[in-house]
Amino acid sequence: MLKQKKFFISTPIYYSSGNPHIGHAYTTIIADVLARYKRLFGYDVFFLTGMDEHGQKIQQKAFEENISPKALVDRNSIIFLNLWKRLNISFSKFIRTTQMDHEESVQKVFSYLYKQGKIYLGQWTGYYCVSCEENYNPAEIIKSQDNIMLCRMGHKLETKSEESYFYKMSDQAPFLKTYYQNHPNFIIPNERANEMVNNFLNNLEDLSISRTTFDWGIPIAENPKHVIYVWLDALMNYLTATGYLSNNEELFQKYWCDNETEIVHLLSKEIARFHCIYWPIFLNDLQIRFPSTILSHGWIITKEGKMSKSLGNVIDPNVLIDTYGVDALRYYLMADLSLFRDAIFSEDNLIETYNTQLANSYGNMISRTLGMLKKYRNNIVPKYVGCVLKNDEKLENLINKNIELVQENINKYSIDKALNCIQEILVEANKYVEDNKPWELAKNQQEQELDSLLVHLVKVIQVTTTLLSPILIEGSKKAVEQLNFDESFLTLASLASYDIFNYHKVNDSKPIFARIIVEKQ
């Protein structure tokens, strides 16, 4: 018996100082879609997401609201969880860095690395961004027109000097450069690796990993006036969520200790530095394997530019779900926005994609096919007898080829290209109907030809519903109900057979994706 392949995928843990926006939803939907596809492909999947709940920004925000930091992060974690429920996110674990088991394991990591000589006590002086929770050296800062010091994201910097523990990193740049060169798929897209080398690794400095100016964090056991700074705390969630250094390391052993596990960290490009540089160094010093791939996607921007509260262009995914439905949002984000570049979010494009690809192409194919089965065959799928019509074989070959291409593209994290392959099947199927004119086949009593057409169209619906099911969570369930399928019909193994539909009874069709009509102003 073949060993089941394993897939571990994580989102970044989201900072708990504010409400989720479309960027959070985008990253999490990508991870969910990849996790669902891998399950469809037969993988054992562990999908991790959660909240980063320590730091100065949270402490300040709680002070402004006159509540405790714990009350703030408790409230915000519920807000995120409610959104993930609405978005049909199928995570395996939701971790919070305020959990006792996480905090204890992080303290153990610090103590181990300190004893190994990887960490030392020193004095940190420089510029600090509260919003980014990041230090900046003089070479990295930007001066505004009125001479205000800004970080690369445009936030105001503070000048600070304090005692800090440092992580020895400056001597590890050559090792990482070599690793990047020898593992070209470690960072995707590849240009992100070049950015790491040119912008950071060529001048890599030791990393400040503790603070004394606030206390909302994990205290260092050896020196409790210090709390562990965000990145040593936050990044460790990928290990602690699986029980690393706890009294139950079963999941850690299962996923991280198996070199054949495909481990993917999914994140937006602004935090690539921490995952592509700091995280591998931490893992190397802990003698733990590296992730297979760090998948660093681009930003969602608007026509005004990058989203910000000051521009008033922050997009609330809850509003989009209320307006268009969850499947429409999930599909648009996966079909129109490539992972590997910045993409402009447009409601007009969302509507166009929904109407063209879901309402017209996929939804109409279901309605059309079920309508013909009711009209011509009393809702009974005829028996498959092979290729009868002259273009039956062409359609079958396209279906088989594109099933393979969908898998290939998903395994390359090219979800948009996978969806193009699915749409190609639907486009060809619509052409197949127009070319064969079922109304004339019925009129001329060409029963065998009409049977073959109907069987092939049911196969198209089964294949496209199966391949779209990781994205269209609600729509695929409705399609399954109308087709009177059970779950065994929506597996890769079942896609190879046409005989499984012989004399299968379907239900009447109802619109699954009604067109969105936009009133002209």
Please enumerate, by residue number, every residue annotated as part of a binding site.
129, 132, 151
The rounded distance, in Å, linking the Cα atoms of 107 and 102 is 9
The alpha-helical segments, DSSP class H, found in 437-510 are: 438-443, 447-468, 473-483
Contact, 472 vs 88, CB < 8 A?
A: no
CA angle, 120 as apex, 117 and 121 as ends, to 5°?
160
CA 193-8-273 angle, to 5 degrees, is 25
End-to-end CA, the chain: 63
Three-state secondary structure call for residue 233: helix
Q: Is 204 helix (H, G, I), strand (E, B) or coil?
A: coil
If you write DSSP's letter for every residue of 279-346 in order, what string do you get?
Answer: HHHHHHHTT-PPPSEEEEE--EEETTEE--TTTT----HHHHHHHH-HHHHHHHHHHH--TTS-EE--
Sheet with 219-220, strands from edge to edge, namely: 210-211, 223-228, 219-220
Tokens encoding 81: 């969880």
Annotated binding site for Zn(2+): 129, 132, 151
Taking each continuous run of H as one helix and of E as one strand, the counts in the chain are: 20, 19
> Could you give the 3-state DSSP secondary structure of residue 160?
strand
